[in-house]
A and B are shown apart, each in its own frame.
Chain A
Amino acid sequence: MSYRNLAVTELVERARTGDNRAVGRLLTLVERGGPVADQIAELTHPLRGNAHVVGVTGSPGAGKSTLVGRLLAEWVAQGFRPAVLAIDPSSPLSGGAILGDRIRMDDVVPEGTFVRSMATRGHQGGLALAVPGAVRVLDAAGFSPVVVETVGVGQVEVDVVAAADTAVVVATPGMGDAVQANKAGLLEVADVFVVNKADRPGASDTRRDLQLMLDLAHVTGQDVDEHGTYFRPEIVMCTATSGDGAAATIDEIHKHMAHLKASDGLSRRRALRVRAEVRSRAERILMDHLDRAISESDLLTDADPNPVSTAESIVSRITGND
């Protein structure tokens, strides 16, 4: 039987009863976007809310996928049913991609986990819409935790991780001194730090640099949010290739969730996440209007259009303030 001919309602029903092929199919449709993806969003929206969404980011080669593979195995051992959305970049030239996260998890990932590779696909705002939709499908299908793994380059990727319930930043020895650690915007979104490759020289230096940065955050009050809640991220030393530190990482992820629940932070984070998705969707709608207005505009047929006034005129036409 081909799942390609199944109606969306049927796929969602099957996904809820543990049919991974239906989940896989839904994720394809969500990624493709358009009215079918919107329908899936409508259907899965009421079913979501039980997954602990964990963002994992770090530089290329930091060991994110290997670590995530270990986390999956540990979660399964503890009785959880985890899923991963592993995001890799598309080629800007061909639009194709080599999605190589699965190969890193292969040896350790047990049955009962769900791993999906996703390419960034370049198109404007695509990832910002596809990721929340995909997380919602996995959530509705009963997976938790749902891990979103992505390279920490590009604002959209950082936003995706920052929008998780718990953000894990993976650092490695040799990534630079405390000044580097401070200027990288990634570090500010972390709820848990993992120093991976802890068996390599320099791992304790990396830990010290991160600690120093967290001390500075305390001095400037950055570790207290606008609601007066204090939280200092823990630093976990880890060797993902052997699995050392995976259980400790999970302990810290769970502690952060407990902190969110105790401090009312969970509902606040999720409200922010909804807000971000609404904004992305609204942005997409506006962009469509804008593209149409620009392509239909007679203002640009002038030999030498004034960029400032022309842009203002076009926007006025969209917003109706003409």
Chain B
Amino acid sequence: MSETTTTDDAETDRLRIVLAKLGLDGHDRGLKVVARILRDAGMEVIYLGLRQTTSSIITAVEQEDADAIGLSMHNAGHLTLGPKMVKALEADGIDVPVIIGGIIPPDDEQVLLDSGIAAVLGPGAPAEEVARAVREAVAQRR
């Protein structure tokens, strides 16, 4: 059996997305809405919820073989925690896109994208845009 048969096809595969909030950030309503949006878009959401660490997220991504990570940020920690997550993944050799949603000032968006975050979604992003951002981020890594 050839090796190529084990690779994924973003079109036919059911995407698995880990959703979490990093550190002390107690506002999880947005994350729950995103979970529902992605489920309704046909994806499988592994919902980790509040108070996660970069290492607890990496453990989940490994065990769940996730295709992408969605982080919700409402505590102004995104410039610290976003790049930290990307670096932690790189250090472990895990090539999975990180998408950040929440309250991100416009000026910070490009900083996050430059640091390796795959996409940034603000409040009020329509459901189709959220699902599309995830699909595109996954497709780009494959």
Q: How far is the CB of A311 from chain B (nearest CB, A)?
A: 32
Interface status of B113 (Cβ within 8 A of chain A):
no
B65: chain A residues at CB < 8 Å are 21, 24-25, 27-28
Q: How far is the CA of A102 from the CA of B1 in the complex (A)?
A: 34
Known: A2-B95, A5-B3, A27-B65. A102 touches B41 (CB 8 A): no
Nearest CB on B from A82, distance (A)? 13
A106–B56 touching, CB < 8 Å? yes
In the complex the two chains form, what is the Cα distance from A264 to B48 in whole Å? Answer: 41
Are A102 and B40 in contact (CB-based, < 8 A)? no
Contact with B39, one of A7, A36, A94 (Cβ below 8 angstroms)? A94
Against A, the Cβ 8 Å flags (1 = close, 0 = not) of B57-71 are 001101111000000
Stretch in A113-121, A171-179, A231-239, A243-251 with 4+ CB within 8 Å of B: A113-121
Are A8 and B44 touching (Cβ within 8 A)?
Answer: no
Q: Of B8, B62, B93, which is within 8 A of A4 by CB?
A: B8
Residue among A25, A90, A99 facing the most chain B CB atoms (10 A cut-off): A99
Hey, which chain A residues are within 8 Å of B95, CB to CB? 2
Contact of A96 among B43, B48, B59 (CB under 8 A): B43
CB of B36 within 8 A of CB of A98, answer: yes
Known: A32-B13, A102-B47. Contact between A20 and B6, CB under 8 A?
A: no
Which residues of B have CB within 8 Å of A119?
Answer: 14, 44
The answer to whether A98 touches B63, judged by C-beta atoms less than 8 angstroms apart, is no
Most buried by B among A11, A21, A23, A39: A21
Closest to A4 in B: B7
Nearest-CB distance from B9 to chain A (Å)?
Answer: 10
Q: A4-B8, A36-B5, A96-B39 are in contact. Are A106 and B63 (CB under 8 A)?
A: no
**With a CB–CB cut-off of 8 A, which chain B residues contact A2?**
95
- Judge whether A293 is part of the interface by a CB distance below 8 angstroms: no
Main secondary structure of the interface of B (DSSP, over half): mixed
Is the pair B39, A97 in contact by a Cβ cutoff of 8 Å?
A: yes
A97 partner, pick from B5, B7, B13, B44, beta carbons under 8 A: B44
A1 to B13, CA, bound (A): 21
Cα(A41)–Cα(B43), bound, Å? 26
Q: How far is the CB of B45 from chain A (nearest CB, A)?
A: 5
Q: Is B38 an interface residue (CB 8 A)?
A: yes
Least Cβ distance of A109 to chain B in Å? Answer: 9
CB of A35 closer than 8 Å to a CB of B: yes
Interface centre among B6, B36, B40 (most CB of A within 10 A): B6
Counting chain A residues whose Cβ lies within 8 A of the other chain, the interface size class is 35 or more
Interface string of A79-112 (1 = CB under 8 A from B): 0000000000011011111111011001000000
| A1-50 CB contacts (< 8 Å) to partner B | 1-2, 4-8, 11, 20-21, 23-25, 27-29, 32, 35-36, 39
Q: Are A36 and B45 in contact (CB under 8 A)?
A: no
| A27-B16 Cα distance, complex, nearest whole Å | 13
Is B63 a contact of A20 with CB atoms below 8 Å? Answer: yes
Q: Do A6 and B14 touch across chains, with their CB atoms under 8 A apart?
A: no
Q: How far is the CB of A19 from chain B (nearest CB, A)?
A: 9
Q: Which of B1, B13, B42, B63 contacts A35 (CB 8 A)?
A: B1
State whether A99 touches B46 (Cβ < 8 A): yes
**A146, chain B: closest CB distance, angstroms:** 14
- Report which of B1, B40, B47 forms a contact with A94, defined as CB distance below 8 A: B40
23 A-B residue pairs with Cβ-Cβ distance under 8 Å, sorted by A, are A4-B142, A6-B3, A7-B3, A8-B6, A11-B6, A20-B63, A21-B94, A24-B62, A32-B13, A91-B39, A93-B40, A95-B14, A96-B14, A96-B42, A96-B43, A98-B45, A98-B47, A99-B44, A100-B47, A115-B60, A117-B44, A117-B64, A119-B14
Name 15 extra pairs, CB < 8 A, besides A21-B65, A24-B62: A1-B93, A4-B6, A4-B7, A4-B142, A5-B6, A8-B1, A32-B13, A36-B5, A94-B41, A97-B39, A99-B47, A102-B47, A103-B49, A106-B49, A106-B56
Interface residues of B (CB under 8 A from A): 1, 3, 5-8, 13-14, 16, 35-36, 38-49, 56, 59-60, 62-65, 93-95, 142
Pick the 5 closest A-B CB pairs, nearest first.
A96-B39, A24-B65, A28-B65, A103-B49, A96-B42
